[in-house]
Structure 1
Amino acid sequence: MRTEQAAAALGIAGCVAVVVSLVLPYVTASGWGAALGRYYAAGPLGVWGLVFLALVGVVVFLAGIRGRTDPTTAAGIALAIGVVALLIALVWALSVSLDPLFGYPGSWITDHRWIVVAATAVVPLAAALYARSVLAS
């Protein structure tokens, strides 16, 4: 039971980290809304589906550990959400252009897409641990 709760907490933290990492550029530099909008819309899918999946992921992990949903069902849904979110993040990171962000007041923005991918990778990892602990009990 302890591993199950720890894995779900890690999944929730990963989902929150995805949303925070995507909001961070808006918070750190004002007046860059239009350029960041083009940056986030790049690629075939953009990142707005990723934000949605991260928020749904929080709900799924919470529903599983609080008993609102069957834990095995929550684990399966969380794993599917995590894998799809990671695929969306990778497609976006590989296809995004940094041209709209030329002159952004922070050099870390060039690595931002990989920060988003790293944060997103926590979600399927935590979901797999959660599924393993649920199925083992």
Structure 2
Amino acid sequence: MDVERTASIVGLVGTVLLAAAVAVPAVVVESGAGPMAAYYASGPFGIAVVGLLALIEVIVLLSGRQERTDPAMAAGLAFVLSLAMLGISATWAFTIDPTVLFSFPEQYSWISNHRWAVLAAAALTVVGTAGYARSVV
């Protein structure tokens, strides 16, 4: 089994899932249905930056896999990015104001579990990029 290839695919899948998970409420929830801006800005950092970092990490992982940049540098950068995304996601998930979290209409009750999906996707990116960094270095 090619560990480098498998780990980079896990990292790529994790980052795409993370970017999608961050974007889902903005796309699915109707604009007048609740305080979406407050939801994304909750916590000390907010969560929108994680979506941006996830898209950057896709580029980093692909450039390392295709050897357009030094694979060891790409693996290290991807791992550091994934740790940052996990830290920001965890901080956001545990510091969301409950009033904001539960202020959405009943049809959007799934949003109370959304933070855990974001956190799980961020953890998947850490696992994938850690394996990729270990196999490259």
Q: Please give the TM-score of this superposition, normalised by the length of structure 2.
A: 0.90
1:71-113 deviation per Cα after TM superposition (whole angstroms, max 9, x unaligned): 1111110110011110000111111124235233222111111
Q: Compute the displacement of 1:26 (Å).
A: 2.5
Letter in 1 for 2:103: F
Q: Mapping of 1:1-137 within 5 angstroms? A: 2-32=2-32, 35-100=35-100, 101-104=102-105, 105-135=107-137
| SS of equivalent to 2:69 | coil
Question: Gaps (5+ residues) in structure 1?
Answer: none
| Contact 2:4-2:135 within 8 A present in 1 as well | yes
Letter in 2 for 1:102: S
| SS of equivalent to 2:110 | helix
CA distance in 1, matches of 2:74, 2:50: 19
| SS of equivalent to 1:5 | helix
Aligned length, in residue pairs: 135
Which moved further from structure 2: 53-62 or 19-28? 19-28
1:43-94 deviation per Cα after TM superposition (whole angstroms, max 9, x unaligned): 1110122112111110110011001111111111011001111000011111
Structure 1 vs Structure 2 CA RMSD: 1.7
Letter in 2 for 1:36: M
Q: Percent identity, please.
A: 36
Question: Gaps (5+ residues) in structure 2?
Answer: none
CA distance in 1, matches of 2:33, 2:52: 19
| Runs of 4+ with >4 A deviation | none
| Contact 1:79-1:128 within 8 A present in 2 as well | yes
Letter in 2 for 1:31: S
Q: Please give the TM-score of this superposition, normalised by the length of structure 1.
A: 0.90
CA distance in 2, matches of 1:32, 1:119: 28
| Contact 1:39-1:98 within 8 A present in 2 as well | no
| Contact 2:50-2:85 within 8 A present in 1 as well | yes
